Structure 1
Amino acid sequence: MLDSNTPLEDTDAVISRLIAEHQHRPGALMPLLHAIQDNIGYVPEAAYPQISKALALSVAEVHGVVTFYHHFRTHKPGRNVMQICRAESCQAMGSEALEAHAKKCLNIDYHQTTADDAVTLEAVYCLGNCALSPSVMMNDEIYGRVSPSDLDALIAEARA
């Protein structure tokens, strides 16, 4: 993923390269959106016209897919992305209290980033870790049976 110091031209070049790699594949939109987010951390709204033209879709169709799926971001995330599982098992085991604790500690809501750019908070609707509910994912690492003190430690590490 490109870091926060990467010039916009590099981001545009990455998006152009990914479009060229995907545009002739059947059903290219979802794999392309995933590739863009995997490479730069989000799907910039400014790229929708370029994507729509390459895939012969309307800008509204591209926008609709990006906004329908909670996985896709339309803005650059913080240095760390914390996802709190909101699936039934995690809710039954206390994820709602964990979510409230995270929002209070970070002083943000879902889909927001802390003022120090350390953490972006997102909801996720299953991490596949139900036996260890409640679960949280920080970047690509899944943590199970997360308590408020465990969450505090993850936040402290993200801010370090």
Structure 2
Amino acid sequence: MTSRYEPWDETRSAEIIAGLSHVEGGTLVILHALQEVFGYVPEPAIPMIASALNLSRAEVYGVFTFYHDFRHEPAGQHVLKLCRAEACQAAGGDALAARAESSLGIKLGNTTADQRVTLESIYCLGLCATAPSAMLDGRVVGRLTEKRLDALVAEAQR
């Protein structure tokens, strides 16, 4: 299984940061760009971003940790996000989350041993009228049932 991400490289990180350091709101733009290339935001990149934007490391780290979509380590080949907001919980989301954990053999927030699937919580996909909902690799799915969840898990494991 090949990764869709590049391995972390300090020179490549510096290029990305330098190319985006002039953009307004550069911290978020750079964090997203690094994660797009590497699959996560490498810890050594935090001080590099801070230096390029004339910010403290704490300011950059604060932005990085505030947004839950930024990762400390690469995700699996596929990312399955289950909505954990109130509407989805009320519509059976807790049982579906437990089913996904059991099917994949991991808890929410973890990646399978083969690095194929990362299972995450997400708090509101905006599909409350079609709850419960999920997202697989950016594709949203409403009206999630056990059968539809099983199909998503099977798709992610391929």
TM-score (norm 1): 0.87
Alignment of 1:1-150 (within 5 A): 3=3, 6-9=6-9, 12-150=10-148
Give 4+ residue runs of structure 1 displaced > 6 Å after superposition.
none
Q: Distance in 2 between matches of 1:13 and 1:41?
A: 16
TM superposition shift of 1:143: 0.9
Specify every segment of 5 or more residues in structure 2 that has no aligned partner in the other structure, as ranges: none
My pick for the range that moved more, 78-87 or 41-50, is: 41-50
Q: CA deviation at 1:117?
A: 1.0
| TM-score, length basis structure 2 | 0.88
Identity value in percent: 47
Q: Which AA in structure 1 matches 2:54? A: A
C-alpha separation in 2, matches of 1:5 and 1:34: 13
Q: Aligned with 1:142: secondary structure?
A: strand
Q: 1:72 to 1:8 in 2, by over 3 A?
A: closer
Q: Any unmatched runs of 5+ in structure 1?
A: none
Deviation at 1:78, TM superposition (A): 0.3
The secondary structure found in structure 1 opposite 2:44 is helix
Contact 2:80–2:156 (8 Å) recurs in 1: no
- Structure 1 18/152 Cα, relative in aligned 2: closer, same or farther at 3 Å? same
Cα RMSD of the aligned pairs, angstroms, is: 1.9
